[in-house]
């Protein structure tokens, strides 16, 4: 084996080890945030739960708020791959669907899947945002990212000629933004014991009733 190949192999191995360490730290942080809340979770506790040093937590992830952000982002995405949500296959598939009603049914399924993974972390962020400016900024960033994505989805409905005449793209985005808040899922599924399947069906039908005009006909 040449020296160049050895160096490449060693570099790839180090990168994978670093990624595994980062995953372990974020998983430990997420678990502690859910169990104890943000304020009661310390960097030392995260380090102990992940089996690494305090220094490794900071060099691999950053501080506590950075660990919270990664826990949220990875829960939403379902993994730590560096692929934006809007470029993932589920979203691309929905954007290619010609029927606006089916687009909303597919979207409701995505909301359910992501909420199953991320609603708990979302509640942690909302709970801590009133007492920590950094977490407040993280919460606001999440709200803005959700609204930007909902503008895109509302635009897809508008392009299909599905929105009621009295509803603008921004109005439709507002409705979508309201109901994809993780607190809605948490209230109904966690607190009121709805099944995730019931939540998904309810959300799909609610959005279709609110955002699709009654005389809408799918374009050929």
Q: What is the mean pLDDT of the chain?
A: 93
- CATH code, domain with 40: 1.10.357.10
Q: Could you tell me if 125 and 65 lie in one domain?
A: no
Q: Could you tell me if 73 and 121 lie in one domain?
A: no
Q: Could you tell me if 110 and 53 lie in one domain?
A: no
Domain boundary among 31, 60, 80: 80
Domain boundary among 19, 52, 80: 80
More confident residue, 212 or 9: 212
pLDDT digits (tens, 9 = 90+) for 92-124: 999 999 999 999 999 999 999 999 999 999 999
Q: Could you tell me if 67 and 99 lie in one domain?
A: no
Q: Could you tell me if 22 and 100 lie in one domain?
A: no
Q: Could you tell me if 98 and 65 lie in one domain?
A: no
Separation between Cα atoms, residue 44 and residue 73, nearest integer Å:
22
Residue 218, pLDDT score: 82
pLDDT band, very low/low/confident/very high, at 14 (cuts 50, 70, 90) = confident
Segments forming the whole domain that contains residue 215? 83-220
pLDDT for residue 174 is more than 60: yes
Number of domains in the chain: 2
Domain boundary among 50, 80, 110: 80
Cβ atoms of residues 189 and 195 within 8 Å = yes
pLDDT digits (tens, 9 = 90+) for 177-200: 999 999 999 999 999 999 999 999
């Amino acid at each position: 084996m040449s020296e160049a190949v050895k160096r490449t192999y060693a570099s790839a191995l180090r990168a994978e080890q670093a990624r595994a360490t980062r995953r372990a730290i974020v998983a430990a942080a997420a678990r502690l945030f859910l169990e104890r809340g943000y304020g009661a979770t310390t960097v030392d506790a995260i380090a102990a739960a992940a089996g690494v040093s305090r220094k490794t937590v900071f060099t691999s992830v950053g501080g506590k708020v950075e660990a919270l952000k990664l826990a949220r982002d990875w829960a939403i995405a379902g993994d730590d791959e560096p692929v934006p949500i809007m470029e993932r296959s589920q979203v691309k598939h929905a954007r290619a669907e010609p029927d606006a009603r089916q687009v909303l049914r597919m979207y409701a399924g995505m909301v359910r899947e992501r909420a199953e993974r991320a609603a708990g972390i979302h509640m942690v962020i909302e709970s801590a945002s009133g007492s920590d400016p950094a977490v407040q900024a993280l919460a606001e960033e999440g709200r803005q990212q959700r609204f930007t994505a909902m503008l895109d989805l509302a635009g897809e409905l508008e392009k299909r000629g599905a929105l009621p005449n009295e509803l603008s793209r921004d109005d439709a985005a507002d409705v979508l933004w309201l109901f994809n808040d993780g607190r809605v899922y948490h209230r109904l599924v966690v607190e009121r014991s709805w099944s995730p399947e019931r939540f998904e069906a309810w959300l799909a039908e609610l959005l279709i009733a609110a955002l699709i005009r009654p005389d809408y006909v799918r374009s050929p």
